[in-house]
Every structure is written in C-alpha cells, then in structure tokens.
Chains A and B, each alone.
Chain A
Amino acid sequence: VSYWFRNDNRLPQARLAVVSYVIVGMIGVLLIGFWKLQVIDSDKYSQWAERNRVRSIPVIAPRGRMLDRDGRVLVDNYPSFSVLLLRDDPSLVMKNLPAIADGLGVPINDLLDQLDNARELPKFQPIVIKPEATPADVAFIESHHEDIPLLEMLMVHRRRYLPNGFMAHASGYVGEVSEKQIEDSNGKLRPGDFAGKSGLERQYNDILQGTDGMRRVIVNSVGKEVDRLPTQEAIPGKQIQLSIDYDLQQVAETSLGQRPGAVVALDPRNGEVLAMVSRPTPDPNDFAIRISAKEWKDLNDDPLHPLLNRAIQAQLAPGSVFKIITATAMLEDHVPSENFTTFCPGYGVFFGRQYHCYVYYAKTGAKSHGELGLHGAILKSCDVFFYNVGIRLGIDRLAHYAIGFGIGRKTGIDLPSEESGLMPTQEWVERSLHRKWYAGEVISVAIGQGAVTTTPLQLARMIGGIASGGVFKQPHLLKDAQNVGEERFPISEPTIEKITDAMYGVVNEPGGTGGHLKLTGIELSGKSGTAQVIGYNKMALVKKGTQFADNAWFVGYAPKRNPEICVAALVQESGQHGGEAAGPVVRDIVKAYYDKKNKKLGGQQLTADGAQFDPNKVEHAAVGVQPPATPKPQSEATTTPPPARSDQN
C-alpha cells in the first residue's frame, strides 16, 4: 500500500453537515410533490385513472313503436350496427386511419371531416363513423380487434316505417338531433343521438324515446378488454297507440293516389283522427339512417314541398265548403230570413261590379241557376245566392260564426307546426294591411274565396262539429287520449236540421253537386268546394292551360246527424270540380268505414290486437297506384287570391 493518504484525517465536517441538510431538503421537496398529487389533486387523477380504465359504450334504447287503433304495428324498429371509432388516443387514430378507411370502404377524407366535426366533444366519447355496417364491415372489425383496437360495433335500432310514405306525415321521422334539441333536453340527448324531428315522432318524442344504457368494460393500456362492469341497461321507449285505423288509412292513401293534396278523417264524436294523408310524400325510411346535406336540401327546395303536411299545414281558400258557415250564420241571425230566395242569372252586380256564378262558365246547359232558396243554393252551390247573403250579413257576423267554428284558429291537434289559416275581419285588414275594409270584400269571403284560408283539418272539424250540433272535439292522433279539448258553439235545432238536410241533399238529392257519390244504406252527406288559386280575370291574362287549375275540396260525413266519421279531402289543382276530384276519396273512406263496421257487427273478428307487422302484406296493399296526375308547382303557403269572384259547384 502506498502512503499517499497518510496523516490525512482532517475531515470537512461542516460541509458534510451541509450535505445532510441538502438530503433532508431533497426528500422534503419530493414529499411535497407527492402531497400535491396524492392529497391535493387526488380527485382529478382518480377520475383520470377511472377514465383510463373504464370504456363506456352506449347501449341504445329502442324507440317505442306506433300501433294503429286495432294494435297493428305502423312504425317499429329493426336492429342494425353502427361502427364506432374510439378517439381517446389521437396518435393511434391517425396511425390507423388509412387502414380503417380501407377496411370500411369510407373515403379517408370523410373520416377526417368527421373527426374534425367532433373536435369539440370530449376525447373519450366515441363517434359513429359508419351508420349502417355491412357484414363485411363486421368481419373486418372482428378480425382486426387486436391490431386496431379503435373500432367498436354499436347495436342501434333503426326506425322502420311502412313503405311508400304510408302515413308518413302523421308519423313524422327521426333524425340526428339538432344543437337546439340537445340544449333543450337537459343533457338527455347527445350529439349523434336520434330523436323525432317532425310529426308524432317529435310530438311524443319524450314517450317514444327510451333512456340509453351504458356498457362498461375495463380495458388495459393497449385497449384490450380485460373485464366487464355491470351494464347499465337501456330503458326502451314506450309504444303509443294511435287512433289511426290502418284500413281507412290504406283506403285514403290509395284513393288519393299520387295527386298532390291531403285527406283527413275524423271521428267527430271524440276527435280521433282515423286517417291522415298528404301528398306528395317523402319516404321517412330514407331519414332513418343518415341523410346527406344534399338530399336534405333537395327535399326542402322541392317546389312541391313534400315535407309539408298538407292536412294541417296547407292554408288554402276553402271555396264553397265555406258556404256552410255562411248558411249557418244566415239561419242563426235571420239575416236575411230563412225564406230568402234569389234569382241567379249567372252573375250578380254589387257596388257597380259584376260577380259571376261558376254556372256562368258552364260548358253545357243553362248558364243560370234560376230562382233558388237556401236548400237549393247549397245543393247546387250557387254563388249568387251566397253573394247576396254575405252582403246582408256583413263581415263581422260572418267572422263571428267562422271563428266560432274554428276557422283561422289552430285545432290543437297533437302534431307540431300546425297552421291556423286565416279568417279575415275588419280589424285584421286594418292591422295587417293598413287599410279600411271594403264592404264588397265580404262577397268573396261568403263563398270561401278572398282572404279566407283554411287547412283540411279545420274543415273536417268544422263540418263534423256543425253536424254534431255545435260540439267541436279537439282532433288528436293518440287513442284514448286524456283531456280531449271540446268547444261548444250553440246552434239552434232548426238550423242544424236545415243545414244537415241540405248537405244530405248534396249527395242524395237530384241536382246536388255530389250526386255521383251516393252510397246505398249510408247517409253520406257533405259539401264540395272548388277553390280558385287565381282569379278568373287574372287567369284570362295568362296562357290558357292547367297552370292555375282549381283546388278540389270535398268534406263529407255520415250519418246525416251526429256523424261517426267526417272526412275532408283536398286535391290540389286537379282542374276538376270538388265533387268530381275529391268526392270519391271521401266516399271510398266512408264506405270502407261502414264496411268494416258492418263486418265487425256481423261477428267477424278483425285482426287481433298486437298483430305482427307484415311487410309483405303492406307492400302489396300500399302499392295501388292511381292514374298519374301531373303535379304542378304551386306555392302552398297562404295563397291569397285576389278578391275577385266565383267558385264552382
């Protein structure tokens, strides 16, 4: 041993002590670091660890079905798979994106767009990248579970509607929720969820929509499932039973065919809607998966407005159907007296201006109705008679009855976005048009032209209510609905008698405008209307053609008093008289109603409650195609033709 270290025992004790303090300080600082993580911020990191550990995959609750009044399935669901992309790990997502795009056959730019759109959402929330997985997609995901642990299958329930737009406007459709719906839902809805967007789907969304559950699995650091936590089960939505009668709906669909227009059938005794059709119609099955922005735009921009439910949203001149209101007002107020008669030479002159009766334009026969009283005027739908009644009643009296019978007011049906139509009054003209009311304007209104507009539903409710003695039930689509609204408008018995007699005569007496609709053994009654879309004088200026063909109306009911069924049919721009174009639709439905009723009474039980939905059966049934009617573009919203004149029928 060399002696280089000898006699060298002077140790730097002070500096060694300093090192001790440094050691204590160092351990102290580290402990403070642990204290901050483990005690102060522990909750934050615990949540984080939990989120690492637990992957939540939603379990979609099936929506409730819609049944018809006999329990037959109108709207139900079918299972389908969506492909979910788990995004908690962006680098892994980006790495695997080309493989995913390739495997699912989705353009990679599409996926990038979807990821971009979901930027704002929390990372742990997966997004749907392909809504309808094919068997090939399922196979791809299953076989790549190990190397691409980013894809999950999500079982969803797609809505299935009957084909060909059967009852489409009443049922409405579902779609991905809008931002507003998410806001209004108090956290119940999340982006990508489906909810009712229109019709009953929207109206009763809270009932139909269940509560989604959650499947929770424990995953390890490479995303592999290692264990399961108790699943939070989905609570299915409740089914709703509608007052719709599948059989009548079927007849209504077939009878209207592809002609633009609407049909609504009510039971005036309780307000139940038995059938509701609107044409043209989209197929709501198209929206049940995912609709592209372009398809959606096309639907909205379609000049025929297929999304419009004409039964409650078309606001059109009611034409001669309105004469029932004018007649009731005349009889109730005795202005003019009930025995009032007038001679119809084909026109009338008021305030120095000539107003024609539709009969003036008749292609054959007399261009005059001759002398007639109220009964004959309703039967033949004479305009001149009602010009005279209107001018004597004045707008205030007429409006009192019309508004009392629901014109210009929403019926309160359980569907969103119902329109109110319009009953013009002096006050309305002053407020909205900023001008005085001209006494002559009442002439057009009295025959259902001018500013007055109504929806088909309003007319069905009005006629049904008058024939029921002034009891107007709130129309609704939910069977056995509670608290059905009711309005009573007192009408004297003699008035009801005369009015219903006349409407019975329209169908059952010679000369009535609905004579061809007569049904043996059924007291079909009603009133036709042929409303101008444009005044005749204006029509003369435009090229002759069907561009502005008349709207055909028929509102019929049976039996004559206290009816069980009341049907309003509208065929738009048919160019035919109301009785000709719309009348048969009403007749078919009323006949079907009685056929079914008599069959039931005859002891033959109909399809039992809860009958299974049979797509084949429906397919065949709904296919009945009508002679194609060339649809014409027309603005649907409040068509207000000039207060010119006439009406036919």
Chain B
Amino acid sequence: MREAPGTRDYDWWLLAILLAICSLGVIEIYSATHGSNLAGMHTKQIRWLVVGFILMFILSRLDYHLILDQAWILYLIGLVALVLVLLVGHTRFGAKRWIPILGEAFQVSELVKLIIIVWLARFFAEVRTDELSLRDLIKAGLLVGLPLALILKQPDLGTAMVLVPLLVVGAFLGGLQWQHAAIFSLAGALLIGSVFYPPVSRHILKPYQRERITSFLHPEEDAKGSGYQLLQSKIAVGSGGFWGKGFGNGSQNQLGYIPVRYSDFIMSAWAEEQGFKGVLLALGLYMALLLRLVQNAQRAKDRAGMFLVMGVAAALGFHVLVNVAMVIGAMPVTGIPLPLMSYGGSATLFVFLAIGLVMNVRIRRFVN
C-alpha cells in the first residue's frame, strides 16, 4: 500500500465543477438577500464553503477502508444522535432537527445521511455476490429503515426520503434481482399512492405534510395558503423567460414572493433572474458533477470504494431531482435543499464531507 497519495491524484475537474456550482449559489444568495435584513448571508455561506473544503481534504487523507471498518460503530453513533435529538434537540419551524455544537445548530440527519452512505457501502461490499439475496436485501432495508423512522419522527420527511435512493442505488449495484426489484417497486408505488390518498395518508403523515401534498395537487385552490409557495415559485421561474430578468432584477425574488429564496427555493430565484440559459448552465453543471461521480465509481479500486462513491452520487442526485422538481411545481414542498447552491451550514458540510469520501476513493485508485 502506497503511502500518502499526491495532489495530482485528486479529481481537479470535480473540484472545478464543485466550485462553479458554489459560485452560482453565492451569487444568487447575494442577489436574494442584499436588499433585505438578511444581507450578508453570502459571506456566511462562503465561510461554510471554506470550512467544507478543509474538512473535505482532511477526510480524503483518511483511508476509506479505515472508515468502512468502523461502519457499525458509526451506525450506532448515528442512531444515538438521532435519539438524542428527539430527546434534547432544538425545535425550529415545528420540528426537532438540531443539536448545538460549537455554538452552531447542526442538523443531525445530515450527518446520518453520511453515516448511512458509509454503512451501506460496507454492507454491500461485504455481501460479495453478483446476485443479491432477498434475505440480504431485507436486512439492508430494515437497518436503513430504523434511522429513517427516527428522522421521520422529528419530523423531517425530506431527509428521511433521501435514505431510500441510497438503498435503492446500492441494491441495484449490489446485484438486485429483477423479480425483487419488481416486488419492491410495486410496494413503493403503493406507499407513494397511499400518501396521496387522504383516507390512508391521514394515518401516516403529519397534518402539515398532508397539506403540502394537497396544495401540490391543487396549487391554485388557495393562492396564498400552502399552494402559495409552489405557485409563486412557478411564477418566478416562468416569468424569467429564456434570458432572465437580470441579476438583482427578479421581482418575485426581490419583493419576497419566492419562499425561502436563498435556501430551498434558490433555484427559483436563479431561474427568474438568469432565465432558461442560466438554468441550462446550472443543470449542466449538476449533470457534469453527477456523471463525474459515476466515472470515479467506475474507476474505483474495489467494490467498497465504488459503493461509497455511488452512495454520494445517489444522495446528491436525489437532492437535485427533488429540489428542482419542487421549484418547477412538479413535486410537493419537501424541504430538501439544493446541494452547494442553497444556503445552509449542515447541508454544505454534508456535501463537502461526501465529496471528501469520493476524493478518498479517487486518490487511492492505483493503490494495491
């Protein structure tokens, strides 16, 4: 095993893409907040980016096999943290999601996402077969289901949902058999269907979650109630047109019609001010990022590294899909931020730590 991989081994293209996306985010955070009482938010975001960058490099130096070795311990730590947050966590916006660390409120579920990526990589790497057995599949499902249930309890449907694609992508690459895929797809479809079916959803979802789903299905019904956010976001995006209204000129953005325009709905603000051309740029960068991750997975030295990278790709891809689909009104409001563009400490750190894992795998691809 070669000692200390060199800087040439880092994926500089990936970093460049990352930096480009972060720049778009910082620009739009500035545009969305500079005229309001939230002014200065972009500098805070830059600070998070710098911290994230440093953490990424630190994490990349630590051999991922060592990390995977501790997967079960990390898993238990994650569960304990989730229980802890339910017991003593800070309540904001009606949900218990935060515990204070070093004066900042950290969203524990972001850390748990990372832990589950690691844990699943270890799990599927250990299975070591081309055909995943039903027993292993159910085992994985139950062990992901436990933290998922705890996150749902906060309640945080969005983050809980992110765990599902981690499992799905992992299982798919771990040799998921078609008949199992068919069965679980059916079960998943039933679950999603029941969420949209009021008599059943009444027992599963919280009132505010049901309301979000209703307002997603009928946004015009109550123009400033819960359908308001989706409608205003669509208005912002649509009114941007092809060329956009220009930096700082989006009325929906500047006058505050877009909800949380610097965070979850930052894509809406970006689309309004930069238009379709700006969207093309942003989504192009996200596609490049995701494809670059897959490429890194393809070149991983072993299955464990591949699973690790693909776990990160699944998490980021799912975030992009759910957030952007929400912005164009194609999905209900879930509270999932757009990675690297949305303002937010925990979410930014999660992404950089996740990329740190990818770099970790990347720089060790030639190690024997």
Interface residues of A (CB under 8 A from B): 1-2, 4-5, 8-13, 15-16, 18-20, 23-24, 26-27, 30-31, 33-35, 37-39, 41-42, 44-46, 48-50, 52-53, 88-92, 123, 218-222, 226
Q: Which residues of A contact B328 (CB under 8 A)?
A: 30, 33-34, 37
B125: interface (CB < 8 Å):
yes
**From B294, B302, B310, B324, contact of A5 by CB (8 A):** B302
Q: Which residues of B contact A45 (CB under 8 A)?
A: 234-239
Q: Which residues of B contact A33 (CB under 8 A)?
A: 325, 328, 330
Q: Are B235 and A48 in contact (CB under 8 A)?
A: yes
Taken together as a complex, chains A and B put the C-alpha atoms of A49 and B249 apart, in Å, by: 12
Taken together as a complex, chains A and B put the C-alpha atoms of A16 and B313 apart, in Å, by: 11
Given A13-B298, A37-B328, A92-B224, A24–B239 Cβ distance below 8 Å?
Answer: no
Residue of B69, B286, B294, B304 most packed against chain A (CB within 10 A): B294
Residue in A closest to B317 when the chains form the complex, CB atoms = A23
Q: Are A49 and B236 in contact (CB under 8 A)?
A: yes
Q: Are A226 and B255 in contact (CB under 8 A)?
A: yes
Taken together as a complex, chains A and B put the C-alpha atoms of A27 and B320 apart, in Å, by: 9
Q: Are B255 and A221 in contact (CB under 8 A)?
A: yes
Interface residues of B (CB under 8 A from A): 63, 65-66, 68-69, 122, 125-126, 128, 130, 169, 172-173, 175, 222-225, 232, 234-242, 251-252, 255-257, 271, 275-276, 279-280, 283-284, 286-287, 290-291, 294, 297-298, 300-304, 306, 310, 313, 317, 320-321, 324-325, 328-330
Given A1-B66, A24-B291, A16–B297 Cβ distance below 8 Å?
Answer: yes
Q: Which residues of A contact B169 (CB under 8 A)?
A: 19
Q: Are A12 and B175 in contact (CB under 8 A)?
A: yes
Interface of B, secondary structure class, is helix
Given A15-B172, A38-B271, A5–B68 Cβ distance below 8 Å?
Answer: yes
**From B223, B290, B301, contact of A89 by CB (8 A):** B223
Residue of A34, A45, A123 most packed against chain B (CB within 10 A): A34
Q: Are A31 and B175 in contact (CB under 8 A)?
A: no
Taken together as a complex, chains A and B put the C-alpha atoms of A635 and B239 apart, in Å, by: 65
Q: Are A34 and B257 in contact (CB under 8 A)?
A: no
Q: Which residues of B contact A24 (CB under 8 A)?
A: 287, 291
Taken together as a complex, chains A and B put the C-alpha atoms of A113 and B163 apart, in Å, by: 52
Taken together as a complex, chains A and B put the C-alpha atoms of A30 and B319 apart, in Å, by: 13
Q: Are A8 and B304 in contact (CB under 8 A)?
A: yes
7 more A-B residue pairs beyond the given contacts A16-B294, A26-B320, A27-B286, with a C-beta to C-beta distance below 8 A: A19-B294, A20-B291, A23-B290, A24-B291, A37-B237, A219-B255, A226-B255
Q: Are A23 and B242 in contact (CB under 8 A)?
A: no
CB distance from A499 to the nearest CB of B (A): 77
Q: Are B298 and A11 in contact (CB under 8 A)?
A: yes
Q: Are B287 and A23 in contact (CB under 8 A)?
A: yes
**From A1, A16, A52, A222, contact of B310 by CB (8 A):** A16
Residue in A closest to B68 when the chains form the complex, CB atoms = A5
Residue in B closest to A13 when the chains form the complex, CB atoms = B298
CB distance from B333 to the nearest CB of A (A): 16
Residue of A9, A13, A226 most packed against chain B (CB within 10 A): A9
Q: Are A19 and B313 in contact (CB under 8 A)?
A: yes
Q: Are B304 and A5 in contact (CB under 8 A)?
A: yes
CB distance from B185 to the nearest CB of A (A): 14
Can you report 24 A-B residue pairs in the complex whose CB atoms are below 8 A from each other?
A: A10-B303, A15-B172, A16-B294, A19-B294, A19-B313, A23-B287, A23-B317, A27-B290, A31-B280, A34-B328, A35-B276, A37-B234, A37-B238, A38-B237, A38-B240, A39-B242, A45-B234, A46-B239, A49-B251, A90-B224, A92-B224, A220-B257, A221-B232, A222-B256
CB distance from A53 to the nearest CB of B (A): 4
**From A11, A19, A46, contact of B241 by CB (8 A):** A46
**From B65, B239, B306, B329, contact of A42 by CB (8 A):** B239
Taken together as a complex, chains A and B put the C-alpha atoms of A385 and B126 apart, in Å, by: 134
Residue in B closest to A38 when the chains form the complex, CB atoms = B276
Residue in B closest to A219 when the chains form the complex, CB atoms = B255
Taken together as a complex, chains A and B put the C-alpha atoms of A5 and B306 apart, in Å, by: 12
**From A26, A31, A50, contact of B321 by CB (8 A):** A26
Given A48-B235, A49-B235, A16–B298 Cβ distance below 8 Å?
Answer: yes
CB distance from A622 to the nearest CB of B (A): 54
Given A1-B66, A220-B255, A11–B235 Cβ distance below 8 Å?
Answer: no
Q: Are A48 and B239 in contact (CB under 8 A)?
A: yes
Q: Which residues of A contact B324 (CB under 8 A)?
A: 30
Given A8-B125, A23-B291, A38-B241, A53–B317 Cβ distance below 8 Å?
Answer: no
Given A15-B172, A34-B279, A53-B251, A27–B310 Cβ distance below 8 Å?
Answer: no
**From A26, A27, A34, contact of B276 by CB (8 A):** A34
CB distance from A23 to the nearest CB of B (A): 5
Q: Which residues of B contact A89 (CB under 8 A)?
A: 223-224
Q: Are B237 and A11 in contact (CB under 8 A)?
A: no
CB distance from B17 to the nearest CB of A (A): 14
Taken together as a complex, chains A and B put the C-alpha atoms of A42 and B255 apart, in Å, by: 19
**From A2, A15, A26, A52, contact of B317 by CB (8 A):** A26
Q: Are B224 and A12 in contact (CB under 8 A)?
A: no
Q: Are A31 and B313 in contact (CB under 8 A)?
A: no
What 8 A-B pairs come out closest when comparing CB atoms? A45-B238, A49-B239, A221-B256, A37-B238, A220-B255, A27-B287, A33-B328, A38-B276
Q: Are A39 and B65 in contact (CB under 8 A)?
A: no
Taken together as a complex, chains A and B put the C-alpha atoms of A39 and B276 apart, in Å, by: 8
Given A16-B298, A30-B325, A33-B325, A42–B241 Cβ distance below 8 Å?
Answer: yes
Q: Which residues of B contact A16 (CB under 8 A)?
A: 173, 294, 297-298, 306, 310
Residue of A31, A44, A88 most packed against chain B (CB within 10 A): A31
Given A35-B276, A44-B238, A12–B173 Cβ distance below 8 Å?
Answer: yes
Taken together as a complex, chains A and B put the C-alpha atoms of A4 and B68 apart, in Å, by: 10
Residue in A closest to B286 when the chains form the complex, CB atoms = A27
Taken together as a complex, chains A and B put the C-alpha atoms of A226 and B255 apart, in Å, by: 9
Q: Which residues of A contact B280 (CB under 8 A)?
A: 31
Taken together as a complex, chains A and B put the C-alpha atoms of A481 and B265 apart, in Å, by: 66
**From A8, A19, A52, contact of B235 by CB (8 A):** A52
Taken together as a complex, chains A and B put the C-alpha atoms of A34 and B294 apart, in Å, by: 25
Q: Which residues of A contact B175 (CB under 8 A)?
A: 12
Residue in B closest to A23 when the chains form the complex, CB atoms = B290
Q: Which residues of B contact A44 (CB under 8 A)?
A: 238
Q: Are A38 and B238 in contact (CB under 8 A)?
A: yes
Taken together as a complex, chains A and B put the C-alpha atoms of A88 and B224 apart, in Å, by: 9
Q: Which residues of A contact B125 (CB under 8 A)?
A: 4-5, 8
Residue in A closest to B169 when the chains form the complex, CB atoms = A19
**From A9, A38, A48, contact of B279 by CB (8 A):** A38
Q: Are A1 and B298 in contact (CB under 8 A)?
A: no
Taken together as a complex, chains A and B put the C-alpha atoms of A153 and B305 apart, in Å, by: 68
Q: Which residues of B contact A42 (CB under 8 A)?
A: 238-242
Q: Which residues of A contact B290 (CB under 8 A)?
A: 23, 27
Q: Which residues of B contact A26 (CB under 8 A)?
A: 317, 320-321
